[in-house]
Homo-oligomer: A and B are copies of this chain.
Amino acid sequence: MKPAPSVLALSGGVGGAKLALGLQRVLPPGELAVLVNTGDDFTHLGLRICPDLDTVLYTLAGVVHPKQGWGRDAETFGFMDELRRQGGPDWFLLGDRDLVLHVERTRRLAAGERLTQITAALAQRFGVPTLLLPMADSEVASLLDTDAGPLEFQHYFVRLRCEPRVRSLAFAGAAQARPPEELATVLRSSALRAIVITPSNPFLSIDPLLAVPGLRAALRAARVPVVAVSPLIGGRAVKGPTAKIMGELGLAADTASIARHYAGLIDGLVVDGSDAAEAHALGLPFAVTGTLMRNDDDRERVAHTALQLADRLAARVAADHGSIAADAARA
């Protein structure tokens, strides 16, 4: 029998995938589940592309491009060269090896399979022991209102390299989306011990997840600690536009903003050493470690820190849930 996951991670792309790999490395095989943002997904050249799912898959399979943190190692670009030569759209890079995933996923979706099933089958092809779950089987599209007009995510993120100023975000299709049934199974399992929000972009990568109706409540209902790893290190993002977007949305790019953003959802926060002083003022349980993940030792250390923080909070969370349940019973 397959072990039930003891840890559920919430992840976007590169940064989240690094911590997911750390968690996979410190947990016994099969004990990690990762719920992945699909708000970045789009249809390009008729192919359904799920960038965050692919980044997590490649990272957990050990075949991710080591420098980039996304895409394949040992990649070739014959398709892309030819597409460019034929005058096709060349702003979204598609490697020849990477294409296998998009073609296979598109074929299976057209055949009526759910994205959750397809993702599981692809993970199996790559020998990944972790349960990969898309946040929903139906399509959700992260849309940005910017000073360059409304933009679909990949157009903002890749084509325009995050240059436009963001005014607001919306998640089209989120209201109709439902978390996959496979997630409910994970959350209901008595094996579950912690939920970890990885240091992916809270606005672009984690918010789409939380926009799926019922998801936030389902996470809380699991009665296990929810801990987040802050995506900021000394007020800066490691990679990507987290700090830039926070500024554009009128938020200070600091740990307090992150804590406020996740208020009501998280029980604790892991922060980088450079933010330890600030964390003391949050009134929220926290743990400190170096959160920059350059190698597997770093990834394992951050994973351990997050799990230890969760374990430290387990009794209190269970008690809180008890009193909430008691409150509910009294009401």
**Using a CB–CB distance below 8 Å, which chain A residues touch chain B?**
45-47, 72, 75-79, 81-83, 86-88, 95-97, 99-100, 103-104, 106-108, 110-111, 125-126
Contact B95 A45 (CB under 8 A): no
Q: Within the complex, what minimum Cβ distance (angstroms) separates A147 from chain B?
A: 31
**Cβ contact within 8 Å between B125 and A99:** no
* Contact, CB under 8 Å: A79 / B107: no
| Residue from A82, A86, A87 with most neighbouring chain B CB atoms (10 Å) | A82
Shortest beta-carbon distance from A56 to chain B in Å: 17
- Tally of this chain's copies: 2
A211 CB to closest chain B CB, in angstroms?
28
Q: How far is the CA of A100 from the CA of B108 in the complex (A)?
A: 20
Determine the distance from Cα of A47 to Cα of B107 in the docked complex, in whole angstroms.
Answer: 8
- Mostly, the A contact residues are helix
A95 — which chain B residues lie within 8 A by C-beta?
Answer: 78
A50 to B78, CA, bound (A): 20
- Beyond contacts A45-B107, A86-B104: 13 other A-B pairs, Cβ-Cβ < 8 A, are A46-B104, A46-B106, A46-B107, A47-B103, A77-B96, A78-B96, A79-B96, A79-B99, A81-B97, A82-B99, A86-B100, A86-B126, A96-B96
**With contacts A46-B106, A106-B46, A107-B46 known, is A125 near B86, CB below 8 A?**
yes
Report the bound CA distance from A195 to B104 in whole Å. Answer: 42
A47 nearest in chain B by CB position: B103
Contact of B100 with A83 in the complex, beta carbons under 8 Å: yes
Instruction: State A100–B79 Cα separation when bound (angstroms).
Output: 6
Q: Contacts of A88 on B, CB cut-off 8 Å?
A: 100, 104
Taken together as a complex, chains A and B put the C-alpha atoms of A83 and B75 apart, in Å, by 13
